[in-house]
């Protein structure tokens, strides 16, 4: 038994057994093995144990999944209508909720995130998203016809068709829900490509959807590499749209795929190098936990994480003390220990990348603090958080997305200079402002070049508010909110002479 949790070693072992069987594509309502496909060991980030030997889908598997989705689109899914689809989305939400511990354990095993995080954040968010889109499509989907000058004009939303969903490895379950909810509510069928490091909850959710009554072929999953399965999905002529979350470099590749094939609609949620401006009057005691969460949540593996801070020079000593104290409150180690707040990074390759970024900055900057928090375990994927101060504006630690628990801090004399420095980046996903004076906060927020700005809090809003970036952080649409339906539907006008 894990202290503070009703999860036993037997529970974890049971879910390991489930994971081992989630080892192939899900096509047409069943697991489908391909002929001669390579298998990739899906490793648990903390202990390195093999969770599943997963077949990597090739172009033939992707084509089979797309054809399965096309058949479902033309048949039972189309005939079901808004009410029927909403009912199934609610049933899926109920099923995920009833099996929430299983999904949380799968996510924690596969991604390495602390179990408390998976149980208390990821699963409830997934359930809430599915329920919200079920309700939304019943009340906000159709456009009423209008009549004028002897003409009846009918304006209707239609599904795009078969939609490709390409998922990141850091939040596979919740990101799946944020894309699957509006895609299915709008009447599409989907082919999902999870990250090859973290496919388990995506396959399991598709399996569960079939178990509770979704028609075969509505949700298909093709685990595989980006070079093989991702490319095949991006180039497929029968895929009408792609919704992608991941790196900017890979997002650009999907734009190329669209141009080379059928000009499918592309929506990208890409990287960020997100700034936080601490205004001169900020109440550091009040906002310290928010800043720490923004930097350390999910081991810094979060597209909207705070990775740069601009703080007033007059408060430098306070900021240094605050960051050192807050890091110490985030223990690092076994994700199934309820005391753990920072788990391992997702893979050896990614941990090595983060370590290289830290070592690179250390070579010319020794003005840093390393977390003094307790670290339990000896996994090479456990990385202690580090804060660098007075980082050069040209340094990769300031300009590049590291995607780990690494924070860069610079001090300013004028707020205008802080805003200019915050905006001097190719990214524009999120930004944060901490302060007291309403006008100063409003002025800074208005000038920040980011798709989402939070004030005195670390958050991305909730699933009812649109989220997406500017510049190289986003393209083509928003996740979350009613606005997300736009990328999963097309508008048709029918003009009747009466």
The answer to whether residues 183 and 488 touch, using CB atoms and an 8 Å cutoff, is: yes
Residue spans of the domains in the chain: they are: 9-270+473-495, 274-468
DSSP 342: B
- Longest Cα–Cα distance of the chain, Å, equals 78
The answer to whether residues 54 and 42 touch, using CB atoms and an 8 Å cutoff, is: yes
Would you state the pLDDT for residue 265? 97
User: The domain 274-468 belongs to what CATH superfamily?
Assistant: Aldehyde Dehydrogenase; Chain A, domain 2 (3.40.309.10)
Strand, coil or helix: what is 7? coil
- CA 462 distance to own-chain centroid: 13
Would you state the pLDDT for residue 146? 63
- Residue 397 to residue 298: CA distance in whole angstroms: 19
Structure tokens at 274: 């997100």
- Residue 208 to residue 194: CA distance in whole angstroms: 16
CATH code of the domain occupying 9-270+473-495: 3.40.605.10
Query: 459 an active-site residue?
Result: no
Structure tokens at 109: 């095993």
Q: CB-based burial of residue 459 (10 Å sphere; 0-12 exposed, 13-18 middle, 19+ buried)? A: middle
The catalytic position among 192, 303, 361, 401 is 303
Would you state the pLDDT for residue 455? 98
Q: CB-based burial of residue 227 (10 Å sphere; 0-12 exposed, 13-18 middle, 19+ buried)? A: exposed
The answer to whether residues 163 and 239 touch, using CB atoms and an 8 Å cutoff, is: yes
The catalytic position among 102, 107, 228, 269 is 269
- Residue 361 to residue 399: CA distance in whole angstroms: 12
pTM, two decimal places: 0.95
Structure tokens at 84: 């029927």
Q: CB-based burial of residue 280 (10 Å sphere; 0-12 exposed, 13-18 middle, 19+ buried)? A: middle
The answer to whether residues 160 and 70 touch, using CB atoms and an 8 Å cutoff, is: no
Query: 270 an active-site residue?
Result: no
Residues comprising the chain, all counted: 498
The answer to whether residues 359 and 386 touch, using CB atoms and an 8 Å cutoff, is: no
CA distance from start to end of the chain: 72
- Residue 79 to residue 86: CA distance in whole angstroms: 13
Count the alpha carbons within 13 Å of 334 in the hemisphere toward its beta carbon.
8
Structure tokens at 454: 């939070």
Tens of each residue's pLDDT in the chain, 498 residues: 444 567 899 999 999 999 999 999 999 999 999 888 999 999 999 999 999 999 999 999 999 999 999 999 999 998 888 899 999 999 999 999 999 999 999 999 999 999 999 999 999 999 999 999 999 887 755 555 666 677 888 888 899 999 999 999 999 999 999 999 999 999 999 999 999 999 999 999 999 999 999 999 999 999 999 999 999 999 999 999 999 999 999 999 999 999 999 999 999 999 999 999 999 999 999 999 999 999 999 999 999 999 999 999 999 999 999 999 999 999 999 999 999 999 999 999 999 999 999 999 999 999 999 999 988 877 879 999 999 999 999 999 999 999 999 999 999 999 999 999 999 999 999 999 999 999 999 999 999 999 999 999 999 888 889 999 999 999 998 999 988 999 999 988 888 887
Would you state the pLDDT for residue 27? 99
């Amino acid at each position: 038994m894990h202290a503070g949790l009703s999860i036993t070693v037997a529970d974890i072992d049971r879910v390991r057994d489930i994971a081992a069987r989630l080892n192939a594509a899900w096509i047409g309502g069943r697991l489908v093995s391909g002929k001669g496909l390579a298998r990739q060991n899906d490793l648990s980030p903390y202990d390195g144990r093999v969770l599943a030997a997963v077949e990597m889908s090739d172009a033939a598997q992707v084509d089979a999944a797309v054809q399965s989705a096309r058949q479902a689109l033309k048949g039972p899914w189309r005939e079901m209508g808004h009410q029927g689809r909403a009912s199934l989305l609610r049933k899926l939400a109920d099923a995920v909720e009833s099996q929430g511990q299983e999904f949380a354990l799968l996510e924690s095993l596969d991604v390495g995130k602390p179990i408390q995080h998976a149980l208390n954040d990821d699963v409830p968010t997934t359930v809430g998203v599915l329920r919200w889109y079920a309700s939304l499509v019943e009340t906000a989907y159709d456009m009423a016809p209008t009549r004028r000058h002897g003409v009846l004009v009918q304006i209707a939303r239609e599904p795009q068709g078969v939609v490709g969903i390409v998922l990141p490895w850091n939040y596979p379950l919740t990101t799946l829900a944020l894309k699957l909810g509006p895609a299915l509510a709008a009447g599409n069928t989907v082919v999902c490509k999870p990250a090859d490091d973290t496919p388990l909850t995506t396959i399991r959710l598709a399996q569960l959807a079939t178990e509770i009554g979704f028609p075969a072929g509505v949700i298909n999953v093709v685990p595989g590499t980006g070079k093989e399965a991702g490319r095949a999905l991006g180039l497929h002529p029968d895929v009408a749209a792609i919704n992608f979350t991941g790196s900017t470099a890979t997002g650009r590749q999907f734009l190329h795929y669209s141009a080379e094939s059928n000009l499918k609609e592309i929506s990208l949620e890409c990287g960020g190098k997100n700034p936080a401006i601490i205004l001169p009057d900020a109440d550091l005691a009040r906002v310290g936990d928010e800043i720490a969460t923004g930097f350390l949540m999910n081991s810094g593996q979060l597209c909207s994480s705070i990775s740069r801070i601009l703080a007033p020079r007059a408060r430098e000593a306070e900021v240094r003390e605050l960051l050192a104290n807050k890091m110490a409150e985030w223990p690092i180690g076994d994700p199934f220990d309820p005391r753990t707040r920072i788990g391992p990074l997702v893979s050896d390759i990614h941990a090595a990348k983060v370590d290289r970024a830290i070592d690179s900055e250390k070579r010319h900057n020794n003005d840093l603090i390393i977390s003094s928090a307790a670290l339990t375990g000896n996994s090479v994927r456990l990385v202690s958080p580090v804060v660098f101060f007075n980082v050069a504006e040209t340094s990769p630690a300031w300009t590049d997305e590291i995607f780990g628990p690494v924070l860069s801090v610079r001090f300013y004399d004028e707020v205008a200079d802080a805003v200019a420095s915050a905006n001097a980046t190719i990214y524009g996903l999120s930004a944060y402002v901490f302060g007291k004076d309403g006008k100063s906060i409003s002025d800074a927020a208005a000038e920040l070049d980011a798709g989402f700005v939070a004030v005195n809090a670390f958050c991305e809003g909730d699933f009812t508010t649109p989220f997406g970036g500017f510049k190289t952080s986003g393209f083509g649409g928003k996740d979350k909110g009613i606005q997300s339906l736009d990328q999963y539907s097309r508008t048709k006008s029918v003009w009747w002479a009466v």
